[in-house]
């Protein structure tokens, strides 16, 4: 399944007046932006750690929403899909598909494997050693 959405301007009543488009496929999220200076940013779905949907009052009135994808990607750890239609449906898809991609690639979230300093101090002072 592929979702293709354009960033919409809140000033122009939700019309796609900007030069930013978002494409979400089974494996990757692509953000294309710019008119004179084109920029393309990709993020593999298996790198998406968490997803948040944000809808402000004016966005709700226009049927829009903003998706925050918290990723392990170096170029954009907080990837935002701003002011898009079908935001709830796309957020749910990204969340489900990112988990499937992690299972398919046999990867796991290594965000906190460096250890917790508090736990290390507890182990040093443990009287059961």
Work out the mean pLDDT of the chain and round it to a whole number.
83
At 122 the pLDDT is: 41
- In this prediction, residue 111 has a pLDDT band, given cuts at 50, 70 and 90, of low
At 119 the pLDDT is: 46
CATH code at 3-116: 2.30.29.30
> Which comes out higher in pLDDT, residue 62 or 125?
62
Task: Read off the pLDDT of each residue in 36-40 and give the average, rounded to a whole number.
Answer: 91
Average the pLDDT over each of 15-19, 62-66, 74-78, 102-106 and give the range with the smallest value: 15-19
Question: 6 and 84 in contact (C-beta within 8 Å)?
Answer: yes
Q: What share of the chain is helix, strand, coil (3-state, %, to 5)?
A: 30, 35, 35
User: Buried b / exposed e across 93-106, counting CB within 10 Å, b at 16+?
Assistant: bbbebbeebbeeee
Average the pLDDT over each of 20-34, 68-82, 109-123 and give the range with the smallest value: 109-123
Rounded to whole angstroms, the Cα distance separating 50 from 78 reads 10
List of residues 6+ apart from 101 with CB closer than 8 A: 26, 27, 44, 45, 46
* Residue position matching structure tokens 């496929």: 25
């Amino acid at each position: 399944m592929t979702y293709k959405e354009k960033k919409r301007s809140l000033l122009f009543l939700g019309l796609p007046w900007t030069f930013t488009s978002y494409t979400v496929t089974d494996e990757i999220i692509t953000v294309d932006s710019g008119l004179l200076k084109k920029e393309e940013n990709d993020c593999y779905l298996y790198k998406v750690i968490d997803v948040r949907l944000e809808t402000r009052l004016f966005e709700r009135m226009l049927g829009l929403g903003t998706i925050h994808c918290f990723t392990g990607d170096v170029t954009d750890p907080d990837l935002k899909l701003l002011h898009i239609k079908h935001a709830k449906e796309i957020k749910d898809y990204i969340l489900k598909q990112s988990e499937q991609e992690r299972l398919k690639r046999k990867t796991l979230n290594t965000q906190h494997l460096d250890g917790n300093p508090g736990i290390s101090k507890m182990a040093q002072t443990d009287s059961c050693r």
